[in-house]
Amino acid sequence: MNFNKHANLSGTHAFLSASKHHWVNYDDKRLKQAYVNFLAAQKGTELHEFAAKCIELGIRIKSNNKTLNSYVNDAIGFKMTPEQPLYYSDNCYGTCDSIAFRNDILRIHDLKTGKLPTSMDQLYIYVALFCLEYGIKPGEIQIETRIYQNGDVATENPTASDILPIMDKIKRFDKIIERIKEKG
């Protein structure tokens, strides 16, 4: 048998794919909610791409107390770098939405497009990754983290006592994973 090629589908996944098979147990209402969530996630990805491009080009968005506008304008104002990967090892890395480090002040901002409340834990991990990657001691710098979501900006100033345990856990967990990989 000669199978159809479908070259245009290479690397893609359908919403109703076999690899995400849980939909076979959905009723109509659950399917609709799952698809609405899927569309919201796609929109969030597009908004992040748009924000990153605005920040890169220095294009401010008219201030109107919208989350996206505040996020973009603040990132431009603080001369932040958008979508910056931070790397400790192949087992632990991530990409922060925007970051700046100058005059011993580390700023990490995160744009959240979903409705559910979020945690600063993700940003604290980025701070830990930054400190590990660049050999910075968190007690020797000022740190500001911000989450932009639902028209609000949540700001925290974590200290070394917040970040050092995360750094230690990253290093410890990385070693555990590497030992498991070696045993294969």
pLDDT band at 14 (very low <50, low <70, confident <90, very high): confident
Q: Is the pLDDT of residue 63 over 80?
A: no
pLDDT band at 19 (very low <50, low <70, confident <90, very high): confident
**Burial, 26: exposed, middle or buried (Cβ in 10 Å; 0-12, 13-18, 19+)?**
middle
More confident site: 125 or 13: 125
Please provide residue 78's backbone torsions phi and psi, each rounded to the nearest 5 degrees. -90, 5
CA angle 83, 84, 88 (to 5 degrees): 140
**Burial, 74: exposed, middle or buried (Cβ in 10 Å; 0-12, 13-18, 19+)?**
middle
Bridge partner list, 95: 85
- Claim: this prediction has a pTM higher than 0.85: yes
Q: Which helix (H) or strand (E) covers residue 56, if one does?
A: helix 28-57
Q: Round to whole Å and give the CA distance between 91 and 104.
A: 28
More confident site: 65 or 168: 168
The per-residue pLDDT for range 146-176, each reduced to its tens digit, is: 999 999 999 999 999 999 999 999 999 999 9
Tokens of 29: 């209402």
Name the nearest CA neighbour of 141 among 100, 174, 111, 181: 100
* Per-residue pLDDT, 18: 84
Handedness of CA 79, 85, 89, 93 (dihedral sign): positive
Q: Where are the beta strands (DSSP E) in the chain?
A: 81-89, 92-102, 105-111, 142-149, 152-156
User: 99 with 126: CB under 8 angstroms?
Assistant: yes
